[in-house]
A and B are shown apart, each in its own frame.
Chain A
Amino acid sequence: EAQVTQNPRYLITVTGKKLTVTCSQNMNHEYMSWYRQDPGLGLRQIYYSMNVEVTDKGDVPEGYKVSRKEKRNFPLILESPSPNQTSLYFCASSPKTGHGVNYGYTFGSGTRLTVV
């Protein structure tokens, strides 16, 4: 089944304790992206990757890191989480086109992160 898999689904952690949220897709998609969803703000892009070893900042990258060593994986790293990073996080992937247009993401099921 074509899918984007995120882990964990739920995570409660303490301020300053490094964590990684994993994301893996099995569709051979070039594009991958991380979003955070907060009430009233919709989805805001954190980082995206156009292909292996190519990553770039989205709209709200502060406090996050990513890597794209393999096409299928795009982990999100919080080196020193803070309470304002409490949110619902989504990983998404899409195929790349010749015009670089996003043809529509496939989303993971989300990771609900609470930082206390």
Chain B
Amino acid sequence: AQSVTQPDIHITVSEGASLELRCNYSYGATPYLFWYVQSPGQGLQLLLKYFSGDTLVQGIKGFEAEFKRSQSSFNLRKPSVHWSDAAEYFCAVHGNKLVFGAGTILRVKS
């Protein structure tokens, strides 16, 4: 069975600082990987996805993520965080079905 672990429940960063949100997955083969963002009171919005090819994928809002097979990881990064990035972020893996992690809440301090 596939699973997703997001080790950090909360992360606080200063505006303008870099960001990395961690995601580890468990699946027997190469999965399809996603990051979603949920702003307060909103549904989830797809940030980026990895299916194959280049292991560094670019998404919307200046986010990128890197697939590392050896570490079973798909960490989300952004070089400079804006206050509007404060939200909850979900990593998801699609093996035989789509499974979400428990989420990481990002707080941005000015």
> Which residues of A come within 8 Å of B, CB atoms?
4, 33, 35, 40-45, 58, 90, 92, 101-110
- Whether B102 contacts A102 by the Cβ 8 Å rule is no
- Whether A105 contacts B42 by the Cβ 8 Å rule is no
- How far apart are the CA atoms of A107 and B101 in the complex, in Å? 16
> Which residues of B come within 8 Å of A, CB atoms?
4, 9, 32, 34, 36, 41-46, 49, 51, 90, 94, 97-98, 100-103
With A42-B90, A43-B90, A110-B42 as given contacts, are A105 and B102 in contact (CB-CB < 8 Å)? no
- Whether B43 contacts A110 by the Cβ 8 Å rule is yes
With A43-B90, A45-B97, A90-B43 as given contacts, are A104 and B102 in contact (CB-CB < 8 Å)? no
- How far apart are the CA atoms of A41 and B100 in the complex, in Å? 9
Closest to B9 in A: A40
- Whether B102 contacts A41 by the Cβ 8 Å rule is yes
- How far apart are the CA atoms of A105 and B46 in the complex, in Å? 7
Closest to A106 in B: B46
- Whether B44 contacts A90 by the Cβ 8 Å rule is yes
- Whether B100 contacts A43 by the Cβ 8 Å rule is yes
Closest to A103 in B: B49
- Whether A104 contacts B103 by the Cβ 8 Å rule is no
- How far apart are the CA atoms of A108 and B42 in the complex, in Å? 8
Which of A42, A106, A110 is within 8 Å of B102, CB to CB? Answer: A42
CB distance from B58 to the nearest CB of A (A): 15
- Whether A102 contacts B98 by the Cβ 8 Å rule is yes
- Whether B94 contacts A101 by the Cβ 8 Å rule is yes
Since A40-B9, A106-B46 are in contact, a sample of 18 more A-B pairs with Cβ atoms closer than 8 Å, ordered by chain A residue number, is: A4-B43, A35-B100, A40-B102, A42-B90, A42-B102, A42-B103, A43-B90, A43-B100, A45-B98, A92-B44, A101-B51, A101-B94, A102-B94, A102-B98, A109-B42, A109-B43, A110-B41, A110-B42
- How far apart are the CA atoms of A101 and B98 in the complex, in Å? 9
- Whether A105 contacts B49 by the Cβ 8 Å rule is no
